[in-house]
Amino acid sequence: MIRLTNVSKTYGNGPTAIAALKNIDLHVPRGSIHGVIGLSGAGKSTLIRCVNLLERPTTGSVVVDGQELTTLSAAELNQARHQIGMIFQHFNLLASRTVFANIALPLELMGMDKVEIRDRVMPLLDLTGLEDKADKYPAELSGGQKQRVAIARALASRPKVLLCDEATSALDPQTTGSILELLQDINRKLGLTILLITHEMEVVKTICHRVGLISAGELVEEADVGDFFTAPRTRLGREFLNDFLELEPPKALVERLEEAAGEHTHPVVRLAFTGDAVSTPLVSRLARECGVDVSILQAKVESIQDRTLGLMIAELIGTPDKTREALAYLESHDLHVEVLGHVQRDA
Amino acid sequence: MSSAMLNLILKATLDTLYMVGVSGLVAALLGVPLGVLLYITRPRQILAKPLTNQVLGVITNIGRSVPFIILMVAIIPFTRMIVGTSIGTNAAIVPLTIAAIPFVARLVEGALNEIPPGLIEAAQSMGATPYQIITKVLLPEAKSGIVTGLTITVVTLISYSAMAGAVGGGGLGDLGIRYGYNRFDPLIMLITVAILVVMVQGFQSLGDHLVRKADHK
Ligand SMILES: Nc1ncnc2c1ncn2[C@@H]1O[C@H](COP(=O)(O)OP(=O)(O)OP(=O)(O)O)[C@@H](O)[C@H]1O
Ligand SMILES: [Mg+2]
């Protein structure tokens, strides 16, 4: 539904030029919810704004619903934009218009008459739970309600794609939850394709099917959400995950960690397991089958959409041969094992 | 006070209202579009035309920097071309209008500047044309700011119109100077000033009322 090919964006030119996006390839299939996560300044907003050409890519191609956007005339682009709704972090509602009139705006722009507009807006008020707010002004609404209005407004032209630029970043966790639920609802009911950018793992975890990780203008990793939360492939991905899970090895341990295994060291491992492995009595099996004791330093069980994810940081205590055997055992049981380092045995 | 005197005061009041009304109206009709143009031609705005913007900016600044009394005299040939005479109430309206247009334009530009850029972006994402952005977003969102600007303009015009006497424009200011100052009639002086004060208060209250009605923030 959305396909970016080799998209780059450079702001300014000469020595002060900033390469905000570098050779981005992104494909969002019809009907899916795709998240892009990254740190501040990574280029998230630039990326999503390239999809409806609010920002014109310096090079590359942007195809939405089979139509190449970069070569369209101004009038054709405006037409194409009716197929692409967008919501923003700060809602961007017109203060001079009521809720009803805000939702009606895109329809007025399309030249629709009053009766038609009414017929379109009323069901959207229902869908977004704003039935009793039609005549209120944005200043009279809470943040969550404002974002609902913005969502209704973005849906008014019956777009095929919805772009969300940090749509929940200005909201408290509870309101965020209800907005995400609404987005998910829309995705299911209307089959709308959603591309959202965020810096919050919670958002990705709650509604995304796939996720891309952007760093310094590059998409460095892309995965199904379940996989990303089990085994991120990049260092940045792991940092995001550990931050989210608040799963960091204790500081005192980190200081003692050595990179290379020595004769008198134990490995410290990070284990991630999903599905059946979660309910396996792992620790006792390692003791029984490999003769290795497991000292659990941290552990956590999270549910990621319909999957359960277990995470553990543990020290494997045994002879080098035995611990090697234990690692092989773990890997053969579909666990993601990452050796964080080694600690001296009697420290 | 003689009835002749009262008539004089009444006529002067109407002259002032006439001068301020006509020049204010024409200045609004021309100054608002100029202000919009100054805003939308800025770099990175919806009709970015940096050169046009600079030229318009310089012209506007010149209009604003010439002292009114000098402007009034300097444009006498132009005034004659427009209204056929260089003296009288109508002749005073031309320089009043010319002075007010750039004034209005800058105030409108300032009001537009207060609109969060995100609103324009949102409209663009909906496929709005520049014309639609002006009529559906910029002007409605800046309405209260624009009304504030127009109120300031009217009040300023009332004060400028006192100088219209220099071209035989009449009005309250002229009356005050001729009778109150030159012939030293303190009563006339007091009455004209009092009427001017009431007039300014009236327009200000009207403006404030309209702003409150337009403002939903
Ligand atoms: N209009 C602009 N002109 C120049 N540089 C820009 C412009 N917009 C963004 N940038 C730069 O491009 C880079 C990416 O910015 P972008 O806004 O896409 O980041 P982001 O990931 O959305 O960050 P945040 O989470 O803070 O919103 C930054 O270095 C930023 O300074
Ligand atoms: Mg951003």
Q: What is the pLDDT of residue A347?
A: 47
Separation of A245 CA from ligand 2 center, angstroms?
23
* ipTM given for this complex: 0.90
Domain range spanning residue B14?
3-214
Contact: A109, B123; criterion CB under 8 Å: yes
Ligand that lies nearest to the alpha carbon of residue A41, given by its number in the listed order: 1
* CB contact B136 to A (< 8 Å): yes
Separation of A240 CA from ligand 2 center, angstroms?
17
- Taking all residues of chain A, what is their mean pLDDT, rounded to a whole number? 91
Ligand 1 atom with the shortest distance to the CA of A47 = 18
Q: Which residue of B has its CA nearest to A87?
A: B122
Written as six digits, the tokens of A52 are: 């409806």
**% chain A with pLDDT above 90:** 65
Distances (CA, A) of A17 to A9, A14, A20, A26, A175: 10, 6, 9, 24, 39
Distance CA(B13)–CA(B199), nearest Å, equals: 9
Q: Which residue of A has its CA nearest to B125?
A: A81
Contact: B216, A139; criterion CB under 8 Å: yes
Contact: A96, B116; criterion CB under 8 Å: no
Least Cα distance to A57 among A1, A14, A10, A15 occurs for A10
Least Cα distance to A48 among A175, A244, A229, A212 occurs for A212
Q: Report CA dihedral (A304, A306, A312, A318) to the nearest 10 degrees.
A: -150
Distance CA(A245)–CA(A262), nearest Å, equals: 30
Walk along chain B (217 residues) and give the pLDDT tens digit of each residue.
788 889 999 999 999 999 999 999 999 999 999 999 999 999 999 999 999 999 999 999 999 999 998 998 899 999 999 999 888 899 999 999 999 999 999 999 999 999 999 999 999 999 999 999 999 999 999 999 999 999 999 999 999 988 877 677 888 888 888 887 788 888 888 999 999 999 999 999 999 999 999 888 7
Contacts of A10 (CB under 8 A, 6+ apart): A17, A18, A19, A20, A58
Distances (CA, A) of B66 to B59, B63, B169: 11, 6, 20
For the stretch A145-173, pLDDT in tens is 999 999 999 999 999 999 999 999 999 99
Distance CA(A206)–CA(A318), nearest Å, equals: 39
Class of domain A258-344: alpha beta
Least Cα distance to B216 among A140, A23, A130 occurs for A140
Q: CB count, 10 Å around CB of B41?
A: 20
Does ligand 1 lie within 6 Å of residue A44's CB atom? yes
Which residue, by CA, sits nearest to atom 28 of ligand 1?
A41
Q: Taking the model in full, what pTM does it have? A: 0.89
Distance CA(A246)–CA(A196), nearest Å, equals: 24
Written as six digits, the tokens of B139 are: 């002007």
The C-alpha of B169 sits at a distance from chain A's nearest C-alpha, in angstroms, of 41
Confidence band, pLDDT 50/70/90 cuts, at residue A175 = very high
Does ligand 1 lie within 6 Å of residue A20's CB atom? yes
Contact (Cβ atoms closer than 8 angstroms) between residue A149 and residue A88: no
Which residue, by CA, sits nearest to atom 7 of ligand 1?
A11
Does ligand 1 lie within 6 Å of residue A45's CB atom? yes
* Residue A128: DSSP 8-state: T
For the stretch A11-47, pLDDT in tens is 988 888 999 999 999 999 999 999 999 999 999 999 9
Distance CA(A80)–CA(A343), nearest Å, equals: 59
User: Which CATH superfamily is A2-242 part of?
Assistant: P-loop containing nucleotide triphosphate hydrolases (3.40.50.300)
Which residue, by CA, sits nearest to atom 16 of ligand 1?
A43
Q: Which residue of A has its CA nearest to B46?
A: A54
Determine whether B61 is exposed, middle or buried from the number of CB atoms within 10 Å of its CB (0-12, 13-18, 19+).
exposed
Average pLDDT over residues A173-196: 95
Average pLDDT over residues A265-270: 88
Ligand that lies nearest to the alpha carbon of residue A56, given by its number in the listed order: 1
Contact: A106, B116; criterion CB under 8 Å: no
Asked whether the predicted pLDDT for residue A193 surpasses 90, the reply is yes
Distances (CA, A) of B21 to A256, B102, B208: 83, 17, 18
Sheet arrangement for strand A67-68: A18-28, A2-11, A59-64, A67-68
Placement of tokens 């530009």 in the chain? B109
Does ligand 1 lie within 6 Å of residue A42's CB atom? yes
Placement of tokens 């014309």 in the chain? B131
Distance CA(A104)–CA(A153), nearest Å, equals: 7
Asked whether the predicted pLDDT for residue A130 surpasses 80, the reply is yes
Separation of A32 CA from ligand 1 center, angstroms?
26
Which letter, b or e, does each residue of B132-162 get, where b requires 16 or more Cβ atoms within 10 Å of its Cβ? Answer: bbbebbbbbbbbbbbbbbbbbbbbbbbebbb
Distance CA(B51)–CA(A30), nearest Å, equals: 44
3-state secondary structure B6-65: HHHHHHHHHHHHHHHHHHHHHHHHHHHHHHHHHHHCCCCCCCCCHHHHHHHHHHHHHHHH
Placement of tokens 């341990």 in the chain? A253
Chain B environment of A153 (Cβ under 8 Å): 126
Where do the structural domains in chain A lie, given as residue ranges? Answer: 2-242, 258-344
For the stretch A268-302, pLDDT in tens is 988 888 776 666 777 788 888 888 888 888 888 88
Which of residues 71 through 90 in chain A touch B, CB cutoff 8 A? Answer: 74-75, 77-82, 84-86, 88, 90
The C-alpha of B25 sits at a distance from chain A's nearest C-alpha, in angstroms, of 24
Q: What is the pLDDT of residue B166?
A: 67
The C-alpha of A64 sits at a distance from chain B's nearest C-alpha, in angstroms, of 14
The residue with greater pLDDT, A71 or A238, is A71
Count of alpha carbons within 13 Å of A153, Cβ hemisphere only? Answer: 34
What's at B146, amino acid-wise? I
Q: What's the Rg (C-alpha) of chain B?
A: 20
Q: What is the pLDDT of residue A76?
A: 97
Which residue, by CA, sits nearest to atom 1 of ligand 1?
A11
Average pLDDT over residues A108-130: 96
Q: Which residue of B has its CA nearest to A50?
A: B125
Contact (Cβ atoms closer than 8 angstroms) between residue B39 and residue B113: yes
Distance CA(A237)–CA(A229), nearest Å, equals: 9
Task: Report how many Cβ contacts below 8 Å link chain A to chain B.
Answer: 66
Which residue, by CA, sits nearest to atom 29 of ligand 1?
A41
Confidence band, pLDDT 50/70/90 cuts, at residue A329 = confident
Q: Which residue of A has its CA nearest to B124?
A: A54
The C-alpha of B214 sits at a distance from chain A's nearest C-alpha, in angstroms, of 7
Distance CA(A316)–CA(A321), nearest Å, equals: 12
3-state secondary structure A214-276: EECCEEEEEEEHHHHHHCCCCHHHHHHHHHHHCCCCCHHHHHHCECCCCCCEEEEEEEEEEHH
Q: How many domains does chain B have?
A: 1
Does ligand 1 lie within 6 Å of residue A11's CB atom? yes
The C-alpha of B145 sits at a distance from chain A's nearest C-alpha, in angstroms, of 12
Distances (CA, A) of B206 to A54, A111, A283, B150: 41, 35, 80, 11
Distance CA(B163)–CA(A62), nearest Å, equals: 62
Q: What is the pLDDT of residue A154?
A: 97
DSSP β-bridge partners for residue A269? A314, A339
Written as six digits, the tokens of A211 are: 């996720």
Q: Report CA dihedral (A188, A194, A196, A200) to the nearest 10 degrees.
A: 20
Average pLDDT over residues A228-235: 88
